[in-house]
Structures are given as structure tokens and as C-alpha cells.
Amino acid sequence: MLEMRLSGECAFNEVNMSTQFKDQRVGVFVDVQNMYYSAKNLYNAKVNFAQILKAAVSNRSLIRAIAYVIKADVREEQNFFDALEKIGFEVKAKDLQIFAGGAKKGDWDIGLAMDTIELAPKLDTIVIVSGDGDYVPLVRHLRHALGCRIEAIAFGKSSAAKLIEECDSFLDLDQDKRRFLIYR
């Protein structure tokens, strides 16, 4: 359960604290690029993915945790991917696409969506770690057609209002930057 800490270190939508329970089966799906660029642009910092996973799972049963990354042939990216695996994430990597005109594209929106839909029958709660509004139709489908509880974790300042509204709960990482960011 993404629980409200007594110290107030986590802030959630007011709804749904009572709909989280110990035996809930949880899947955590992280849009790494979205989180990386949000932390970099908002705070010139890096994301503490270990703390995010801990908050996402809380006292519930973790079934799968998948981090979706883009390989950009940047030095030390393999160390980062290895660190994600050590934390407990299954890492799915895709090459950065570079088009003839020099434009670059790299996202996992469809891959993340397909994985959540395929795994939904084995999960009670799906946690999407992203503030991307493109996930709103997915959230609606997972909730209404597949009956899953949907939680989102992201930086509120860079999250789509509609995504926050559609989820059963939202953890705003802006509310506890010291816990969820790494400053270097």
C-alpha cells in the first residue's frame, strides 16, 4: 500500500487509503525517461528509484516491477540499468531511434500499456510511475474494463492534471523531494 506516513512525508489524493491492504498484488511500471527528465528539468537532480519502489509497494505483495529505459549509448547507462535491477526492477530496454533529419525519439508508452494490460489479471493494483497524460486512456481501461486499482507516482508539477484525476491515488514526489531525489 502507498501509505500515508505518520510524519506526513508522503502526500496522496485524499481518496482510497482504506482500499489498500496487505495482501494486494501490486505491479509497478516505471516510465524512466519521463521521471528522469522531470527530475532534471524541475530540480536538476536524479530520481531515487529505490525509494519510489519502496513507496509504491509499501506493505503489499510485489508481483512485478518493470523499468522501461531507452538506450542512448551514453557512458555509464549500463551501470544505471544494473542498479535498477539490483533494486528489484526488471529492466526493459529499447534503442533510441534517430531519424534521417536528426530527430530523435524514444518512448515506451505502448510497451508499458501492453504489459499492464497483459499483467492486469494477476494484479489488484497497478502503479504507473509517470506523470504523462498519454496514459489516461490506459488508466480508464485498466480501471473500468479490467477492475484494477490504479495509482500514479510522479512529480505533481510536471504531471497531467487529467492523469492525477483519473487515478485512484497519486503520490506527488514534489511533497518529499529529499526522499525521492538525489542531488549531485
- In tens, the pLDDT along 14-62 reads 334 446 777 899 999 999 999 999 999 999 999 999 999 999 999 999 9
Mean pLDDT over the full length of the chain: 87
The Cα–Cα gap between 34 and 47 comes to: 11
Residue-by-residue DSSP string for 72-118: ---TTHHHHHHHHHHHTPEEEEEEPEE-TTS-EE---HHHHHHHHHH
What confidence score (pLDDT) does residue 31 get? Answer: 96
Mean pLDDT calculated for residue range 107-130:
95
- Is 61 in contact with 125 (CB distance < 8 Å)? no
Q: Which amino acid is located at 54 in the chain? A: K
Mean pLDDT calculated for residue range 158-174:
97
The Cα–Cα gap between 111 and 92 comes to: 9
Least confident of 9-13, 84-88, 141-145: 9-13
- Is 142 in contact with 148 (CB distance < 8 Å)? yes
* CATH 3.40.190.290 holds for 18-182: no
Q: Is the pLDDT of residue 73 over 80?
A: no
**Greater pLDDT, 103 or 151:** 151
Residue 53 burial by Cβ neighbours in a 10 Å radius (0-12, 13-18, 19+): buried
What confidence score (pLDDT) does residue 105 get? Answer: 62
